Amino acid sequence: MPNNWLERLRNAYKEGAIKGLADFHVHTKEGLSENFSGGVLASSIVGKTSKHNVSVFAVTNYNTVKGVQRALEAAKTSENTHVIPGIEILSIYKGANVHILGLGIDHTHPEIVEFEGAVNAALEAQKHQLSVEIKHFGAFQFMKNHGLSVKKDANISAPYALEKVLQKERQMYPVQGAINLIHRLGGIAVWAHPPVHFKLNANEDSHVSKELKVDWKALRKTMWEMTEFGLDGIEIGNPLGGASEKVKDDCRVKLRGMAEKIVNLPMFKKTGKRFFFISAGSDEHIFPAINPNFGKSAHAVNASYSLPSFLNALDYVRKNHYIVPTPQQIAAFQTAAKKPKPPYRRIIREQ
User: What gap in Å lies between CA 97 and CA 169, rounded to an integer?
Assistant: 10
Q: How confident is the model at residue 8 (pLDDT cuts 50, 70, 90)?
A: very high
More confident residue, 212 or 36: 212
More confident residue, 124 or 39: 124
Q: In the Cβ-directed half-sphere of 222, how many Cα atoms lie within 13 Å?
A: 22
Tell me what the mean pLDDT of segment 191-214 comes to: 73
User: What gap in Å lies between CA 123 and CA 251, rounded to an integer?
Assistant: 32
The residue among 154, 153, 243, 151 whose CA lies nearest residue 194 is 243
User: What gap in Å lies between CA 21 and CA 27, rounded to an integer?
Assistant: 17
Q: What is the pLDDT of residues 144-154, one digit of tens each?
A: 899 888 887 67
More confident residue, 43 or 32: 43
Max avg pLDDT among 40-44, 88-92, 262-266, 319-323: 88-92
Domain boundaries, the chain: 4-115+173-337
Asked whether residue 82 carries a pLDDT value surpassing 70, the answer given is: yes
Q: Are 259 and 234 in contact (CB under 8 A)?
A: yes
User: Taking the CB of residue 340, how many other CB atoms lie within 10 A of it?
Assistant: 4
Q: How confident is the model at residue 330 (pLDDT cuts 50, 70, 90)?
A: low
Q: How confident is the model at residue 329 (pLDDT cuts 50, 70, 90)?
A: low
Residue 120 has a pLDDT of 83
Q: Does domain 4-115+173-337 have CATH number 3.40.630.10?
A: no
**The model's pTM:** 0.84
Residue 194 has a pLDDT of 92
Residue 343 has a pLDDT of 35
* CB-count burial class (<10 Å; 0-12, 13-18, 19+) for 175: buried
Q: What mean pLDDT value characterizes the chain?
A: 81
User: What gap in Å lies between CA 160 and CA 163, rounded to an integer?
Assistant: 5
Q: What is the pLDDT of residues 176-187, one digit of tens each?
A: 999 999 999 999
Q: How confident is the model at residue 348 (pLDDT cuts 50, 70, 90)?
A: very low
More confident residue, 160 or 269: 160
Tell me what the mean pLDDT of segment 49-62 comes to: 87
Indicate the Cα dihedral angle 59, 65, 69, 75, nearest 10°: 10
Q: Are 57 and 67 in contact (CB under 8 A)?
A: no
Residue 190 has a pLDDT of 97
Q: What is the pLDDT of residues 113-139, one digit of tens each?
A: 889 888 888 888 888 999 999 999 999
